[in-house]
Structure 1
Amino acid sequence: MTSNEAGTHGAVLADPPPPGEAPLVELRGAGKSYGNIRALHGVDLAVHPAKVTCVLGDNGAGKSTLIKIVSGLHQHTEGEFLVDGQPVRFSTPREALDRGIATVYQDLATVPLMPVWRNFFLGSEMTKGPWPVRRLDIARMKATADRELRNMGIVLDDLEQPIGTLSGGQRQCVAIARAVYFGARVLILDEPTAALGVKQSGVVLKYVAAARDRGLGVIFITHNPHHAYMVGDHFSVLRLGTLELSAPRSEVGLEELTNHMAGGAELAALKHELAQVRGVDTGGLPGGDDLTAPAGD
């Protein structure tokens, strides 16, 4: 145990960075191949401070591969990966964390039966006293965890309660506050609302916005365009390992984002097929209004 203190393809639209503001993390034509399998190809992504970059895509679109490259779990095999404008090639997630890139996965890396404050400092416990009789500084860890959670707007009545007794949304928020406290500058959130209900998803989205307001660059991975549009500043849609769409919020609406996310051609084909089924109203479905049945149908 160690003592730690706080540190602080398709239609691709151009999105110039704000004047004088360099991206914290940037991918330029990045890709990843596993032998003959090309999981990701030609992806451009820029993450700026105090901005939420939403990465959307269906299952198999390449979102997980993108996370693994940025978080240091895997190395890219093509293109460039830059942190603070300098090319990097991380060997381990620890190297990425040392550069301020923290990832909150769906499983949250928590121990359900341990108290909230122990999970907050899990693996980075504060200690006191001389070596070799150093011991946990429980009082300081409790006070620090409570303060940092409150700074993020998270108020828990009892930090001694097992973290497993918290709701899914609350556990996500504790994980976000922990990453912020330990000096994250770039926060990667892997499908944080995927297993949550409407109310708990709203709680998590509120703290995603809170992390952005504290100056972090956030990469929000999701397959839900509605959640993305609530907090996103820039949207990147992956499809079969390539970039389908890259656009700032000002240039894309929710309907267009949803269309790119689902795949316009597939939606049009599905609408046509459903139109042949008796009792199914396809009038309100996206996919084009000029679809007609082929001759002979």
Structure 2
Amino acid sequence: MHHPSWSLPTWALLGSLAAGCAASHSHVTWSDVPSREPAPIVTRTPEAPPPGAKEDPKGFVARFPNPAVCEAAARRLQAESREEGWAAIKACIELTPFTQMRALLSGPWNEDLRMRPEAASLIARVVAQRGGSVRGELQYLQEQKIPIFSLASAVDRPDTYKGRYVLLRAQVADQRSEGEKPTVWLVEHALSSVETNMSVGSGESFDTTTTTSGDLNGQTQLTGPGQLGGSVSTREESFASTTRKHYDNISDETGREALGRLPNADPFLEARRDYVILARFDGVRLTSGGADDDSEAPRIPVLTIVSYHAPQELVVY
């Protein structure tokens, strides 16, 4: 028997295969994912350093709570720049109640205090801030070789000290004019301490009264025989309190006087008020009635006033 053979065209077979593949697989389309942009980098502009003491002295000292911290900051600046350091310590002295004399005269400032023209006036200001005890302060200044001297030394050796700085505590007794420049009559003072006892506790008082009475028999020339009566009383009183020693600063005259020259009349230099005065010693001159050839004739020192400062009430040692 002849069996018919089944045959399919080649194109039909390929078509069926293609249809089967299409039915069993889904078509996936990939789309482009946008790239993520990097986050912007935020750069902080560095803050400008605060102005220095040269540009803004008040702003410089305002950054510190007290003069001691201000002086320490000035020392750090001085290590970087001598001029910046000097401007800083000058601001500390002029714009704060600066009393750190030992810190000022030690360390990096010593050479500047001997060489700079304004240094002597700064020292005079510090002496006034510390109470104006010129005698004690001068001793310490000379130990550090700071060329500021006493009026007493200048009067004793006028040729040696002529042209040098002197520091004194004085009051203005009078003001006159010699030509175009006014002249003040200065009376030197020194600060001394007076001791008193001040009551600090409540007192105790004791009061005792004693009375004695009785009769007395006898005879007197006026009344004859008789009897006298009466009483006698005594009173005792005591008081106790607690005290402690108290010291007051008193400004007394030293006996030395001087003539102080001013470049212009100054209404703020008041009479009968103490000042710490920095001056240049110009020598001595005869007072009225003296002869040039008389070595015993009275002479008075003549000063050119450089600066003056009202002393604080509290003395700091």
The alignment's TM-score, normalised by the length of structure 1, stands at 0.25
The higher-RCO structure (CA 8 Å, 6+ apart) is 1
Name the structure with the higher strand share.
2
The alignment's TM-score, normalised by the length of structure 2, stands at 0.24
